Structure formats: structure tokens, C-alpha cells
């Protein structure tokens, strides 16, 4: 039973993070925050989810299949039953591992160690574990669930195709879910997309809570081939004893949008023009205020 609960939870976060897989691990933090050891949040099960477009999606996504435009730090507190989901803006710009780049380029540049160290610095939560999945996994996971139900607080419009999803209740298949979690054409930009990703997470968890063992088994069989193609440095076999009870799991969403006052938009020369970036209001690579905000909002 625990094995199925863990796999189901893994797949829940997979479909949410915009391409996310959920693998749980108990570990000792190996990164530092301003010279001191980073904690592992309120729980001891923490890892970074990186969502990339991958191939086969068509359009603009094919131009940069290995940019991880979704970055979510997952911190599970098994004692309180709280799943902390911390979205990290993909346009965050800084110097990591002696090289300056946007944080969504770290995987493509093979800078994962530097990225994990930077995430520890900006969140106060250390982890050496990560998983990278693409949009095809998300699409197949949602379809395997028979779709998900969400209640959009605001309409979502694609300014290029003109496709619009009005505010209100929707039943989404895998294709529509991928479109929603990728869409950033709103005044809040990527923060709008991150908020909708969190809506999708909760919708998937709601579906999974209602499954019996036979339904979970069928779901796992459908999605495992897609999940097996994704990349992670975690071993599922070592993690089964940490499976939580999905029924009482609470999701705590933390999004670093402009309303926090912690980030400012800027630009930097790139190619034949300027590249849009986000930097901490306190200055590049100065994450003290961001770290304090995240720590104060953990549950």
C-alpha cells in the first residue's frame, strides 16, 4: 500500500510542476547559506523539480527544449502533513559556479551543483536531489487521470494564437493542462503561470485522494513508461518508507511575485539586444530578504 501511495504522490507532483516528478528522500543538507549549513525546511524530504519543454510539443517550445522554465522546490513535512511548494522564477539572474546566467539555463549548461547551491542560498533549504521531466510526462499523467477539474480565478489568453480559457470551472485534458501551465501572457507574466501551476497541483491531488487501490494501480501502469524517461539523481527503491497519507496532505504554495517587493525587473545585453531578467531588490546574488520571506512562510 505504501508503495502505491508514494508512486501516486510522485506522479501528482510530476503533473503539477509543469513537468515534475515526485521522489522523496531523507538526506543531510550539503550546501551552505552564507557560510552556515542550510536546513532542510520543516521536514526532511526535500528536492528540486525542474520542468522543461522537451521535444514533440511544437511551436516556440521546440526552440529551447532543455531550458527549465519551471523550477519548484518541494519540501514535505511528514509530521504535519504539509507539502511546501516554492516556485523559483525562471528569469532570476545571478552568478552561480563562476558563471552568470538565468536560472532556467542551469540544466542546459550542466551547472546543477551550482544551481542547487544557489537554491539553498535563496531559500534556506538545502538539498542535493533533483528531478527533470518534460511536458510530455505532464500530458500523459493528466490523461491517465481522465482529466482534472480546476476553477480559474482569471481568464488565460494566448496572445499569439488567440486561444482563451475563460475564468471559472474547467475540466482539462492533458493537452489543455500543458497549455495552461506554460502560458504566461498576462500582466504578471511568469508569476501568473506559477500560480496556475499550483492550481493544477491541488486539482491533481484532489483526484488522487479519491482513488482506490485498483484505480491507483491502473494509473501507475499508464504513466510509468513516461516517467521512466525522465532524469533524476534519486532512487525510488530507497524512499518507499517515507510515503505519506494523501488524504490529509495539505499544500502550502509560496510564489515570489512582485507583490512581495523582493524582486525587480531589469535587462542585460544578450546577442543583438537586451535580455529580460529578474534580480533581487537587494542586489544580484543578495538573497537575504528572499530567504527570510520563504522561511517565514514555510509550514
Ranges of each domain in the chain:
2-297
Q: Where are the beta strands (DSSP E) in the chain?
A: 32-33, 36-37, 45-52, 70-77, 82-87, 93-96, 99-102, 130-134, 148-152, 156-157, 164-165, 168-172, 231-232, 250-255, 263-270, 273-280
Average pLDDT over every residue of 90-112? 92
Helix (H) or strand (E) holding 7: helix 2-16
Higher pLDDT: 33 or 134? It is 134
Exposure b/e, 154-178, CB count within 10 A at least 16 = b: eebeeeeeeeebeeeebebebebbb
Q: Does residue 106 surpass a pLDDT of 50?
A: yes
The distance from CA 56 to its chain's CA centroid, rounded to whole angstroms, is 21
What is the arithmetic mean of pLDDT over 234-258? 67
**Which alpha helices (DSSP H) does 152-287 contain, by range?**
174-182, 190-209, 213-227
Fold held by 2-297: Aminopeptidase (3.40.630)
* Rounded average pLDDT over 167-176: 93
Model's pTM, two decimal places? 0.76
Taking the C-alpha atoms of residue 90 and residue 106, their distance in angstroms, rounded to an integer, is 10
Average pLDDT along the chain: 76
pLDDT digits over 68-84, tens only? 888 999 888 777 888 89
| pLDDT beyond 60 at 20 | no
Per-residue pLDDT tens over the stretch 201-228: 788 878 877 777 777 777 777 777 776 6
Amino acid at each position: 500500500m505504501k508503495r502505491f501511495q508514494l508512486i501516486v504522490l510522485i506522479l501528482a507532483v510530476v503533473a503539477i510542476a509543469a513537468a515534475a516528478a515526485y521522489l522523496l528522500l531523507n538526506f543531510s543538507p550539503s550546501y551552505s547559506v552564507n557560510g552556515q549549513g542550510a536546513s532542510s525546511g520543516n521536514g526532511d524530504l526535500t528536492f528540486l523539480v525542474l520542468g522543461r519543454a522537451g521535444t514533440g510539443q511544437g511551436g516556440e517550445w521546440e526552440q529551447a527544449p532543455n531550458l527549465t522554465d519551471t523550477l519548484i522546490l518541494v519540501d514535505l513535512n511528514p509530521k504535519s502533513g504539509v507539502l511546501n511548494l516554492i516556485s523559483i522564477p525562471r528569469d532570476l539572474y545571478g552568478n552561480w559556479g563562476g558563471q552568470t546566467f538565468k536560472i532556467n539555463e542551469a540544466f542546459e549548461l550542466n551547472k546543477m551543483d551550482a544551481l542547487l547551491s544557489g537554491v539553498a542560498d535563496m531559500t534556506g533549504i538545502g538539498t542535493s536531489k533533483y528531478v527533470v521531466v518534460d511536458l510530455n510526462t505532464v500530458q500523459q499523467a493528466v490523461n491517465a487521470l481522465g482529466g482534472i477539474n480546476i476553477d480559474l480565478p482569471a481568464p488565460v489568453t494566448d496572445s499569439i494564437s488567440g486561444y482563451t480559457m475563460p475564468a471559472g470551472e474547467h475540466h482539462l485534458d492533458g493537452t489543455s493542462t500543458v497549455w495552461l501551465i506554460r502560458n504566461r501572457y498576462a500582466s504578471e507574466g511568469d508569476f501568473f503561470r506559477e500560480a496556475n501551476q499550483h492550481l493544477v497541483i491541488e486539482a491533481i491531488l484532489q483526484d488522487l485522494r479519491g482513488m482506490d487501490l485498483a484505480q491507483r494501480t491502473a494509473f501507475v501502469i499508464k504513466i510509468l513508461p513516461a516517467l521512466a524517461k525522465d532524469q533524476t539523481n534519486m532512487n525510488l527503491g530507497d524512499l518507499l518508507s517515507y510515503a505519506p497519507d494523501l488524504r490529509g496532505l495539505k499544500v502550502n504554495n509560496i510564489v515570489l511575485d512582485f507583490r512581495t517587493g523582493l524582486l525587480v525587473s531589469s535587462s542585460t545585453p544578450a546577442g543583438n539586444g537586451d535580455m529580460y531578467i529578474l534580480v533581487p531588490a537587494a542586489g544580484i546574488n543578495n538573497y537575504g530578504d528572499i530567504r527570510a520571506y520563504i522561511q517565514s512562510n514555510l509550514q
